[in-house]
């Protein structure tokens, strides 16, 4: 479950793995573009502690301290920022898109985890574009009740985006994809990439897309294993109580994520974190609060991850599982791996937000997976085909 998933697992283990020291902050300045302007683009955390303070220093000293955590836009990471109206689900989806260079190419469809947003894939998207020389497109979207996806103005239903059960999220994803790519025969080949909760949604979308005759290159699930996730859920509430309820500024929110190793790549955090915080509507402190408080999603946790392993293994396309560190497989996945049903990759030195922590390495893994399975020769089976 987003950046708390691995912490909950560690709570049931006898030893915590060593935490690498924080990386040096880069001193780059990427401008002050508005993060939410349409068209402008064209873990293992320990128990969180209180945010470091600048003590009795001056306001200017504190401002200087937070300069390294100033929000930056996704300018240069995606080609387009779009608002796509999908009347069937009464939502305006925020979509970030870089189309493939060639007509009929491949598009990686990226589904983020609970509590985060599409811009968690920003740095990864830029790396994929470069490594594939533009042959791979990238589409990432904010799911309902996350980021900048909002109910349509015409919606007459209060809290129309409140339902986060798996069936609803799968229907949202399918509705968006069939709106963006309405004709399967003319659609690019799709490679579904889902992080945590997103992985659970993606494996359920695969058979629906195949039923409608869309071309699929494969499905990639990022850092979620059914058995260990379900076992970790009882610890989640206690871990959530250790989180701040909000922050004094967006800069403090970015700093907290970096200092606690929730996200280990400050460049990515400066892009993604502003989209998961919103001004406090009550006017009470703190002035910036979570866009999607994870404790509010608790009724859906079990529903999200039950049957994930079997659904992943049953996908009739190439399958890739990418894990952070030396995470164990559950029994079903272990048997599947021994039978050659999927490709397994482990990325070291990252936390649960592996696509933010090391976007370069993940892009290398995904581009190699794409090349192996999209350009497969006639008679040669894809990864995971038996």
**Domain map (residue ranges) of the chain:** 2-374
3-class DSSP assignment, residue 20: coil
Instruction: List per-residue pLDDT tens for the chain, 386 residues long.
Output: 444 545 544 443 333 333 333 333 333 333 333 433 333 343 333 333 334 433 334 556 566 789 999 999 999 999 999 999 999 999 999 999 999 999 889 999 999 999 999 999 999 999 999 999 999 999 999 999 999 999 999 887 878 999 999 999 999 999 999 999 999 999 999 999 999 999 999 999 999 999 999 999 999 999 999 999 999 999 999 999 999 999 999 999 999 999 999 999 999 999 999 999 999 988 789 999 999 999 999 999 999 999 999 999 999 999 999 999 876 899 999 999 999 999 999 999 999 999 999 999 999 999 999 999 986 544 445 555 55
pTM of the model: 0.85
Question: Of the candidates 48, 2, 3, 5, which has an alpha carbon nearest to the alpha carbon of residue 232?
Answer: 5
Helix axes 122-131, 359-374, angle to 10 degrees: 50
User: Which uninterrupted H or E stretch holds 247?
Assistant: strand 246-247
Cα separation, 22 vs 1, whole angstroms: 23
**How are beta strands 91-98 and 136-141 bridged, if at all?**
antiparallel
Question: How many other CB atoms sit within 10 Å of the CB of residue 212?
Answer: 12
The angle that helices 197-211 and 166-180 make with each other, rounded to 10 degrees, is 50
96: nearest Cα among 35, 154, 153:
35
Burial of 280 (0-12, 13-18, 19+ CB in 10 A): middle
> What 3-state DSSP class applies to 246?
strand
Helix then strand then coil, in percent of the chain rounded to 5, is 40, 15, 45
The whole-number pLDDT of residue 62 equals: 61
Identify the CATH assignment for 2-374 out of 3.40.50.1820, 1.10.357.10, 3.40.50.10860, 3.30.413.10.
3.40.50.1820
3-state secondary structure of 82: strand
Q: Within 10 Å of residue 152's Cβ, how many Cβ atoms? A: 15
For position 374, what pLDDT does the model report? 86
Cβ-Cβ contacts under 8 Å for 72 (sequence gap 6 or more): 30, 31, 32, 33, 35, 267, 270, 271
Per residue in 97-120, is it b (16+ CB within 10 Å) or e — as a string?
A: bbebeeeebbbbbbbbbbbbbbbb
Active site residues: 196, 223, 352
List the one residue out of 144, 132, 130, 120 whose CA is nearest residue 43: 120
């Amino acid at each position: 479950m987003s950046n708390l998933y691995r912490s909950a697992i560690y709570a049931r283990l006898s030893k915590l793995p060593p935490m690498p020291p924080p990386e040096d902050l880069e001193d780059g300045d990427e401008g002050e573009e508005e993060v939410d302007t349409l068209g402008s683009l064209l873990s293992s955390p320990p128990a969180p502690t209180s945010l470091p303070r600048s003590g009795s220093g001056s306001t200017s000293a504190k401002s200087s301290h937070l300069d390294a955590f100033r929000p930056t836009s996704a300018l240069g990471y995606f080609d387009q920022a779009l608002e796509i109206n999908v009347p069937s689900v009464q939502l305006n989806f925020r979509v970030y898109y870089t189309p493939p260079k060639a007509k009929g190419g491949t598009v990686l469809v990226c589904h983020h985890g609970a509590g985060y947003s599409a811009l968690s894939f920003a740095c990864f998207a830029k790396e994929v574009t470069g490594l594939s020389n533009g042959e791979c497109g990238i589409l990432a979207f904010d799911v309902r009740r996350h980021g900048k996806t909002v109910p349509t103005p015409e919606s007459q239903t209060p809290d129309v985006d409140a339902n986060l059960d798996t069936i609803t999220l799968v229907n949202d994803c399918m509705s968006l994809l069939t709106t963006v790519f309405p004709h399967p025969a003319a659609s690019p080949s799709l490679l579904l990439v889902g992080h945590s909760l997103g992985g659970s949604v993606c494996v359920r979308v695969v058979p629906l897309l195949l039923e409608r005759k869309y071309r699929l290159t494969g499905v990639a699930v990022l850092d979620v294993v059914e058995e260990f996730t379900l076992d970790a859920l009882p610890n989640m509430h206690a871990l959530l109580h250790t989180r701040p309820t909000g922050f004094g500024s967006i800069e403090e929110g970015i700093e907290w994520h970096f200092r606690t190793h929730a996200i280990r790549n400050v460049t990515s955090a400066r892009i993604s974190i502003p989209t998961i915080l919103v001004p406090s509507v009550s006017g009470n402190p703190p002035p910036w609060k979570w866009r999607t408080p994870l404790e509010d999603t608790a009724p859906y946790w079990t529903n999200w991850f039950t049957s994930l392993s079997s659904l992943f293994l049953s996908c009739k396309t190439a399958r890739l599982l990418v894990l952070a560190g030396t995470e164990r497989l559950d029994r079903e996945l272990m048997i599947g791996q021994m039978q050659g049903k999927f490709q397994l990759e482990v990325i070291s030195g990252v936390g649960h937000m592996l696509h933010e922590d090391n976007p370069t390495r993940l892009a290398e893994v995904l581009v190699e997976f794409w090349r192996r399975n999209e350009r497969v020769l006639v008679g040669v089976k894809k990864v995971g085909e038996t």
